[in-house]
Chains A and B, each alone.
Chain A
């Protein structure tokens, strides 16, 4: 299950990305393992826009596909 399955308004806790390049890139931006991401909008078959620490960040479809929420019951509706 990847971030692609999130619905707008849901919050997920990010699991560590398995792609090292992506992990480095996101870690610098504050999206490391454990970051709380709230899905704000979603372009069909396109990027997803998350709110994280008060800022909005758009991540391309391919990136979202490679990112996973932590398995716990973390998909809480807000």
Chain B
């Protein structure tokens, strides 16, 4: 197998909107306007997004991967426009252990009413957060979701008893059923009349004073431990009093369901490893070969270059002479109108769509968290944990998208490490297609071997170095594993569509800006000057012909342009030169869009460091590779 590398194009996971999008107005303004603020809160993966979607008609990401809601969607209730609904990231409690917990804490304290969604099959875990909300003085309505799955476990929940013990209204639901959320809507419809009509203040945990005193107490580490201990005991007792086994559990541990067996298999290093290779290979076939090849040929070649771009050029030509700089700027080789439309709709859109379909299927099936568990061993050595596998896989699609998705990681430190690795070592799908073609010129199998060894070694080395240098420690993996199941078509379709739209909306202006900058440089001859400056570097330092400088500069615009420039020079380069150039161009700079995303996500200082670092590493590594290959002619 020559090409264990993978994939394709674009994609992100999970986070689509900004982490801290503020609601359109603050709580005080809302209540003056006669709006009631309802905040949805709950542990990860309880079904909160399904409830949010049903209430608002908007779409929050529904996925079978714990911790995927990192943005905070909000909107009016579609059944009652006096209700303002705010979603929150899923958390296990309010302890300020992560950004998500801080965001959620602020939101629930601001709420008129907190709709706390809990999972019926994990009550003893979920009710801890419920009790904490009650203790913090929030007005809580508990929604026990996934009642259908509880029935499957031969258990029965005494809802009235639970209401009595917690002192708040408890509503059982199956959110995924057609009208599953109706009882909640009916209840919320009474809300604007009397806030207290639908639930009450709740019973604090024995031994605790609700409201501000409880919050103050928990701000103190020693008292916090005590409070958590009391609460955990209390909740265990509540669950023991409300949940009963309906049939004595005669099921022996051997009678596993298919879903359980699949789940266990995925975690076996051998089966899981092989299946991961299979999943990546298929991803490569579907997105890398079919979408990036055949489909993009059609969308970019036939539709864009054949039908869309010529009329634009013609129209611009009516206004400006075709040799004027305005024409070149608007409709020339790097024209703002032509290049950005061609790239965004002809290339990016089909790739993003394809990648998201694939990712959504993996996500909805429950497979991703298991990959995360398997990869934890390696990732925890470089300051990350298994969760970071998602951005890494996405990076092979589109580094820009993957960088956005590092928002799912727990700490800033992990986000820095992951973004740097993405920027430097992961080739995106746009490059991969051209890289594959060049590999043949560089010697096939052997070339792939050399290339992969260099990149994996750098990946580990950079990760390990950052892990050593950055203050702090990586957070160890604690991950819920949802059951494996067949992906649901509607979930996959909706999720794909929402993410694709969100990504294009986020990336498109950056591409336009990028092509405008390059267009200006080009029209005023600056590109040629830069290439001129770079040529000594490429000739003396990398032992490459001077013209390769053009390919490097093009790589800034679109990473695949760089590799494609090399391809055009193909025959004039030796195998060693192709390898040197490929390694350099892979490491060297992310494209303009991803540079802009680093800026936005990581801040100017860190973004500059990442960019300069990637230049240094690219030219440094390139020089080393060129010299080693000159001594040791293995290619």
A60 touches B128 (CB 8 A): no
Of the A-B pairs whose beta carbons lie under 8 Å apart in the complex, a sample of 19, sorted by A's number, is A23-B225, A25-B478, A26-B478, A28-B95, A28-B228, A29-B125, A41-B267, A43-B267, A43-B374, A44-B269, A46-B374, A47-B386, A49-B481, A54-B153, A55-B122, A59-B478, A61-B377, A61-B380, A63-B477
A43-B374, A53-B122, A55-B122 known; A29-B481 Cβ under 8 A: no
B478 touches A57 (CB 8 A): yes
What are the residues of chain B within 8 A of A29 when measuring CB–CB?
92, 125, 128, 478
A32 touches B376 (CB 8 A): no
Mask of B374-413 contacts with A, CB within 8 angstroms, 1/0: 1011001000011000000000000000000000000000
What are the residues of chain A within 8 A of B92 when measuring CB–CB?
25, 28-29
Closest 7 CB pairs of A and B: A46-B377, A60-B476, A60-B477, A30-B125, A56-B481, A28-B93, A41-B267
B480: nearest chain-A partner, CB-CB: A57
| A78 interfacial by beta-carbon distance below 8 Å | yes
B125: nearest chain-A partner, CB-CB: A30
B128: nearest chain-A partner, CB-CB: A28
Mask of B120-144 contacts with A, CB within 8 angstroms, 1/0: 0110110011000000000000000
A20 touches B377 (CB 8 A): no
| B574 interfacial by beta-carbon distance below 8 Å | no
A43 touches B377 (CB 8 A): yes
How far, in whole Å, are A26 and B92 apart by their CA atoms in the complex?
Answer: 9
How far, in whole Å, are A59 and B232 apart by their CA atoms in the complex?
Answer: 20
A28-B92, A32-B232 known; A58-B373 Cβ under 8 A: yes
How far, in whole Å, are A24 and B228 apart by their CA atoms in the complex?
Answer: 7
| A7 interfacial by beta-carbon distance below 8 Å | no
| A75 interfacial by beta-carbon distance below 8 Å | no
B122 touches A54 (CB 8 A): yes
B380: nearest chain-A partner, CB-CB: A60
Residue in A28, A32, A41, A63 whose beta carbon sits within 8 Å of that of B476 in the complex: A63
Mask of A48-78 contacts with B, CB within 8 angstroms, 1/0: 0100011111111111000000000000001
Interface core residue of B221, B267, B377, B386 (most chain A CB under 10 Å): B267
Residue in B97, B373, B377 whose beta carbon sits within 8 Å of that of A45 in the complex: B377
- Report the minimal beta-carbon distance from B112 to chain A, rounded to whole angstroms: 25
Restricting to A1-56, which residues have a CB under 8 Å from any CB of B? 9, 20-21, 23-30, 32, 40-41, 43-47, 49, 53-56
B224: nearest chain-A partner, CB-CB: A24
Residue in B97, B124, B479, B483 whose beta carbon sits within 8 Å of that of A58 in the complex: B479
| B172 interfacial by beta-carbon distance below 8 Å | no
How far, in whole Å, are A49 and B386 apart by their CA atoms in the complex?
Answer: 13
Give the interface SS of chain B, mostly helix, strand, loop or mixed.
Answer: helix
A56 touches B480 (CB 8 A): yes
A54 touches B121 (CB 8 A): yes
A27 touches B480 (CB 8 A): no
Give the interface SS of chain A, mostly helix, strand, loop or mixed.
Answer: mixed
Mask of B470-509 contacts with A, CB within 8 angstroms, 1/0: 0000001111110100000000000000000000000000
What are the residues of chain A within 8 A of B376 when measuring CB–CB?
43, 46-47, 58, 60-61
A43-B267, A47-B373, A78-B253 known; A58-B481 Cβ under 8 A: yes
- Report the minimal beta-carbon distance from B256 to chain A, rounded to whole angstroms: 10
B373: nearest chain-A partner, CB-CB: A58
A23-B225, A54-B153, A60-B476 known; A28-B129 Cβ under 8 A: yes
A24 touches B95 (CB 8 A): yes
What are the residues of chain A within 8 A of B346 when measuring CB–CB?
none
What are the residues of chain B within 8 A of A55 when measuring CB–CB?
121-122, 125, 480-481
B232 touches A20 (CB 8 A): no
What are the residues of chain B within 8 A of A57 when measuring CB–CB?
478-481
What are the residues of chain A within 8 A of B93 when measuring CB–CB?
28
How far, in whole Å, are A49 and B482 apart by their CA atoms in the complex?
Answer: 12
| B229 interfacial by beta-carbon distance below 8 Å | yes
What are the residues of chain B within 8 A of A62 when measuring CB–CB?
380, 476
- Report the minimal beta-carbon distance from A29 to chain B, rounded to whole angstroms: 5
| B263 interfacial by beta-carbon distance below 8 Å | yes
A20 touches B221 (CB 8 A): yes
A41 touches B264 (CB 8 A): yes
How far, in whole Å, are A44 and B481 apart by their CA atoms in the complex?
Answer: 18
A47-B386, A60-B478, A63-B478 known; A30-B268 Cβ under 8 A: no
How far, in whole Å, are A71 and B373 apart by their CA atoms in the complex?
Answer: 28
A43 touches B477 (CB 8 A): no
- Report the minimal beta-carbon distance from B523 to chain A, rounded to whole angstroms: 54
B265: nearest chain-A partner, CB-CB: A41
B268: nearest chain-A partner, CB-CB: A41
B373 touches A46 (CB 8 A): yes
What are the residues of chain B within 8 A of A54 when measuring CB–CB?
121-122, 153
How far, in whole Å, are A46 and B264 apart by their CA atoms in the complex?
Answer: 15
- Report the minimal beta-carbon distance from B129 to chain A, rounded to whole angstroms: 7
| B335 interfacial by beta-carbon distance below 8 Å | no
What are the residues of chain A within 8 A of B477 when measuring CB–CB?
47, 58-60, 63
Interface core residue of A20, A40, A47, A55 (most chain B CB under 10 Å): A47
16 additional contacts, CB 8 Å, given A24-B224, A60-B385? A20-B225, A24-B228, A27-B228, A32-B236, A41-B264, A41-B267, A46-B374, A53-B124, A55-B122, A56-B263, A56-B480, A58-B369, A58-B480, A59-B478, A60-B386, A63-B478
